[in-house]
Chains A and B, each alone.
Chain A
Amino acid sequence: AQSVTQPDIHITVSEGASLELRCNYSYGATPYLFWYVQSPGQGLQLLLKYFSGDTLVQGIKGFEAEFKRSQSSFNLRKPSVHWSDAAEYFCAVGLMEYGNKLVFGAGTILRVKS
């Protein structure tokens, strides 16, 4: 069955430090992959997406993610974290045979300390 695993429930980083959020997926076909961010009381905002082509994708707010087929991973990175990046981050795989139904991971809560 299709699934997404985000191994880290919480991550705390210092402002200005680099960030990597992990995401692994289980899906038989070529995946469409997404990272969303959710601030408290807000809906989900798309950070970036991978459909095909270059495996390193750039997103908004200085985020990037790299698709590694051999590792079934799509990790999110940012070279320097800002206090405003504190939020919950969700990785998702889009199931094309089901009309791009999104299967989400459980999320990673990012805390930024000054």
Chain B
Amino acid sequence: EAGVVQSPRYKIIEKKQPVAFWCNPISGHNTLYWYRQNLGQGPELLIRYENEEAVDDSQLPKDRFSAERLKGVDSTLKIQPAELGDSAVYLCASSLWRGDGNEQFFGPGTRLTVL
């Protein structure tokens, strides 16, 4: 079974530039998560999708971040414009929501460096 796929793996951009990250979850997983992991910290949830619906985006900085999950499969996370503080690893995870303690499977992440 293929795991969660993310691209690109690394991205270096100048501040104020836009950037986008792509995630392909495990086939059949209806729940998709985006986390941000700052250096030396654990991941923090940015947004959670149930199928196509963003059901928890309370931690997403909406002034510059946006996300979409068309057709309830792949997802894209965008930052526009990027700031120095956005340098982090962006992790995508997916799960099959069963309503009780479902396991999340993580992709390798995209390491973003904003100069």
Contacts and interface: CB of A to CB of B under 8 A. Distances in A.
Contact of B42 (A41, A46, A90): A90
B50 to A, nearest CB: 7
Contact of B102 (A41, A100, A105): A100
Interface in B72-110: 91, 93, 95, 97, 100-109
Going nearest first, the 6 A-B pairs with the smallest beta carbon separation are A104-B42, A43-B106, A44-B106, A32-B101, A51-B101, A43-B108
A112 interface: no
Size category of the binding interface on chain B: 20 to 34
B69 interface: no
Interface in A1-53: 4, 32, 34, 36, 41-46, 49, 51
Contacts of B93: 44
Nearest to A6: B42
Contacts, number: 61
A19 B55 CA distance: 39
Interface residues of A, number: 25
Contact of B4 (A32, A43, A92): A43
B41 A107 contact: yes
21 contacts: A41-B108, A42-B108, A43-B106, A44-B93, A46-B104, A49-B101, A49-B103, A51-B100, A90-B43, A98-B56, A99-B31, A100-B101, A100-B104, A101-B33, A101-B45, A102-B104, A104-B43, A106-B40, A106-B41, A107-B40, A107-B41
